């Protein structure tokens, strides 16, 4: 099984997924730093059942040089382990991209585990701010900086809410930890 980039997130396994036109299959899901998600038949070698790339014209994975550190080699796209909601058949995954001339974005994607199609009107751009005067703030508000933040921790799901944790890329400051929750609807 070949994929298009480095794999930092843990592969996920789901049994008896109803893949359209193929019946129930055991599936392994793999995410890459090239901002791709793959679904493979866990019991057979061959091409992916489906592949989704979050890259398009003007949208690229982030270079390690853009974040000023080498904690992740070459490029940064999807670093963390996604999470699957068994009740809705949805995989949640965060992708980091560079868009245009220096705009950095984290998006929460909700993918149908059978097809890879986006669900719930997604994806959702991650944005946040909190009152504070910490390093990097304007004196009253600290804003989430998508270029500096490293979404490394695996996603968590509880009661239909996705929890996403961020740290920094190496010691390239100013940096802050963030924990953000999102409901899919």
Q: How many distinct structural domains can be found in the chain?
A: 1
81: in domain: yes
Would you say residue 122 has pLDDT above 90? no
Reported in sequence order, the residue ranges of 43-101 that DSSP labels E, i.e. its strands, are 50-53, 59-60, 62-63, 75-76, 83-85, 90-99
- Determine the average pLDDT of the residues in 149-157: 93
Is the pLDDT higher at 93 or at 23?
93
Residue 7 lies in a domain: no
User: In sequence order, which ranges of the chain are alpha helices (DSSP H)?
Assistant: 64-67
pLDDT of residue 184: 64
Helices and strands (H and E) in the chain: how many: 1, 17
pLDDT at 177: 87
User: Do the domain assignments include residue 144?
Assistant: yes
Domain-embedded: residue 67: yes
The rounded distance, in Å, linking the Cα atoms of 16 and 9 is 22
In a domain? residue 4: no
Tens of pLDDT, residue by residue over 60-87, are 898 888 887 777 778 999 999 999 999 9
Structural domain for 130, as ranges? 12-42+51-182
Position 149 pLDDT exceeds 70 = yes
């Amino acid at each position: 099984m070949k994929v298009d980039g480095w794999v930092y997130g843990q592969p996920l396994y789901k049994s008896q997924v109803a893949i359209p036109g193929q019946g129930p299959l055991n599936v392994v899901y793999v995410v890459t730093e090239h901002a791709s998600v793959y679904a493979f038949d866990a019991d057979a070698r061959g091409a992916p059942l489906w592949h989704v790339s979050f890259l398009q014209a003007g949208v690229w994975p982030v270079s390690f040089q853009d974040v000023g550190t080498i904690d992740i080699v070459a490029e940064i796209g999807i670093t963390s382990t996604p999470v699957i909601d068994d009740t809705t058949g949805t995989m949640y995954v965060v992708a980091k991209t560079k868009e245009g001339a220096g705009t950095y974005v984290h998006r929460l994607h909700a993918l149908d585990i059978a097809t890879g199609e986006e669900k719930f009107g997604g994806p959702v751009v991650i944005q946040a701010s909190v009152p504070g005067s910490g390093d990097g703030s304007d004196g009253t508000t600290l804003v989430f900086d998508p270029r500096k933040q490293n979404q490394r921790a695996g996603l968590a799901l509880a009661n239909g809410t996705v929890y996403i944790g961020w740290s920094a890329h190496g010691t390239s400051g100013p940096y802050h930890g963030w924990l953000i929750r999102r409901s899919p609807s």
